[in-house]
């Protein structure tokens, strides 16, 4: 187990500034995820922690040891890449045993450890097979067994599930969570998939063009995004450009199109704002201390266990998500509709240059 701290990490590749001063604190035994769109700097951050690349500025700490200039092997961290490349000519046993053989452990001990690791990923009995004789998910599990068998201080997983189909991804992410809990190791996970990040992580850092915009538990990030980028990146959400037209302490009135929303919480400086409303927080029935938006139905989309009603308010499309068809009744496109939203569920954030 290890605690990792990144202190003001800057990484330049020629003129490209891939990381613009990253500060992160990853605690002992937590599953910490770097989440963000392609090119935001997730892999670069991971490689700098692994010791596969070095920062232009800043420091990397493992506990109270400054590891900034240590090589990868001196750090005791193991990185599993998205293309988990097993050695095709080696059996599963030899693939997993590889790191232990390099360390010249006695044969008996290697056997015991390999069996332990294969048990953990539920692949006992597959020792004599070759990688091509396994499914994608099984190969991925071998890659994880190969990483944990050397008992790393830190396990780094870079989009480890991206080559798997949807069902296997779900299975494997629960497996990774289980293994991490069982071993109590610190895991740093990289993904661009917000749902995967939410499901698997203790905490998430949301990254955007070389910076960390917010760090928090999945719930904090989803329910209390601090920036427009974080709000819009975390799942389907309504982000409506608006203007602050009146202020009274930390309460404001905002306007978009011909709609005027009063008494909302906002403490930002800019009057150019966005209103953020999660679709599942919009009701088709009146709510307490809420606002009402009157518009027309544009579309009704049926997803099985929930239904989305897309309303048109002027030219602004707003999605409401409701569970069960009873609330929706006979609503059809072009019909008038009222969306009800509790004031507490409306977030006003400064408009960002995205």
Closest distance of CB 188 from ligand ATP, Å: 13
Helical axes 107-120 vs 92-102, angle rounded to 10°: 130
Point out which residues bind ligand ATP (CB under 6 A): 13, 16, 18, 36, 38-44, 192
Contact 327, 285 (CB under 8 A): yes
Query: What's the CA gap between 193 and 196, in Å, rounded?
Result: 5
Query: What's the CA gap between 228 and 236, in Å, rounded?
Result: 13
**CA–CA–CA angle 197, 201, 206 (5° rounding):** 55
Closest distance of CB 37 from ligand ATP, Å: 7
Closest distance of CB 142 from ligand ATP, Å: 23
Which one, of 79, 85, 82, 83, lies nearest residue 160 by Cα?
Answer: 82
**CB closer to ligand ATP, 40 vs 277:** 40
Closest distance of CB 160 from ligand ATP, Å: 13
Closest distance of CB 82 from ligand ATP, Å: 8
Torsion sign over Cα 234, 191, 132, 180: negative
**CB closer to ligand ATP, 16 vs 353:** 16
Residue 177: phi and psi, rounded to 5, are: -60, -45
Which one, of 5, 64, 66, 3, lies nearest residue 30 by Cα?
Answer: 3
Query: 186-191 and 154-158 as β-strands: parallel, antiparallel, unpaired?
Result: parallel
Closest distance of CB 45 from ligand ATP, Å: 7
Where do runs of H (alpha helix) occur along the chain?
42-50, 72-75, 92-102, 107-120, 136-148, 166-183, 194-200, 218-223, 228-233
Closest distance of CB 223 from ligand ATP, Å: 25
Closest distance of CB 193 from ligand ATP, Å: 10
**CB closer to ligand ATP, 52 vs 168:** 52
Closest distance of CB 256 from ligand ATP, Å: 32
**CB closer to ligand ATP, 20 vs 59:** 20
Q: Is 165 exposed, middle or buried (0-12, 13-18, 19+ CB in 10 A)?
A: exposed
Question: What strands lie across the sheet with 57-62, from one edge to the other?
Answer: 16-26, 4-13, 57-62, 65-66
**CB closer to ligand ATP, 37 vs 314:** 37
Contact 319, 310 (CB under 8 A): yes
**CB closer to ligand ATP, 45 vs 180:** 45
**CB closer to ligand ATP, 206 vs 347:** 206
**CB closer to ligand ATP, 80 vs 120:** 80
**CB closer to ligand ATP, 41 vs 290:** 41
């Amino acid at each position: 187990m290890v605690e990792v701290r990144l202190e003001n990490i800057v990484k330049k590749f020629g003129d490209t500034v891939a990381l613009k001063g990253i500060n992160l604190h990853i605690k002992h035994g937590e599953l910490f995820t770097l989440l963000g769109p392609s090119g935001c700097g997730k892999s670069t951050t991971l490689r700098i922690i692994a010791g596969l690349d070095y920062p232009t500025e800043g420091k990397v700490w493992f506990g109270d040891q400054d590891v900034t200039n240590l090589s990868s092997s001196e750090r005791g961290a193991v990185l599993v890449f998205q293309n988990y490349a097993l050695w095709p000519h080696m059996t599963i046993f030899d693939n997993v045993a590889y790191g232990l053989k390099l360390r010249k452990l006695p044969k008996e001990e290697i056997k015991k450890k390999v069996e332990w690791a294969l048990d953990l990923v539920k692949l006992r009995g597959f020792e004599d097979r070759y990688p091509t004789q396994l499914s994608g998910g099984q190969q991925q599990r071998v890659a994880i067994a190969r990483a944990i068998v050397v008992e790393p201080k830190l396990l780094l997983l870079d989009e480890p599930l991206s080559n798997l189909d949807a069902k296997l991804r779900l299975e494997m992410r629960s497996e990774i969570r289980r293994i991490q809990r069982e071993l109590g190791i610190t895991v740093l996970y990289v993904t661009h998939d917000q749902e995967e990040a939410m499901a698997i992580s203790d905490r998430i850092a949301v990254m955007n063009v070389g910076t960390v915009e917010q760090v928090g538990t999945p719930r904090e990030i989803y329910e209390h995004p601090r920036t427009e980028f974080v709000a819009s990146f975390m799942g389907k959400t309504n982000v409506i450009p608006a203007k602050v037209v009146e202020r009274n302490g930390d309460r404001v009135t905002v306007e978009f199109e011909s709609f005027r929303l009063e008494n909302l919480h906002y403490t930002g400086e800019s009057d150019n704002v966005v209103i953020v409303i999660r679709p599942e927080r919009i009701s088709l029935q009146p709510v307490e201390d809420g606002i009402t938006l009157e518009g027309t139905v544009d579309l009704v989309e049926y997803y099985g266990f929930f239904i989305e009603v897309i309303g048109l308010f002027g030219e602004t499309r707003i999605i409401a998500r409701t569970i069960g068809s009873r609330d929706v009744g006979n609503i059809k496109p072009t019909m008038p509709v009222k969306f009800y939203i509790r004031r507490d569920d409306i977030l006003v954030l400064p408009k960002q240059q995205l």
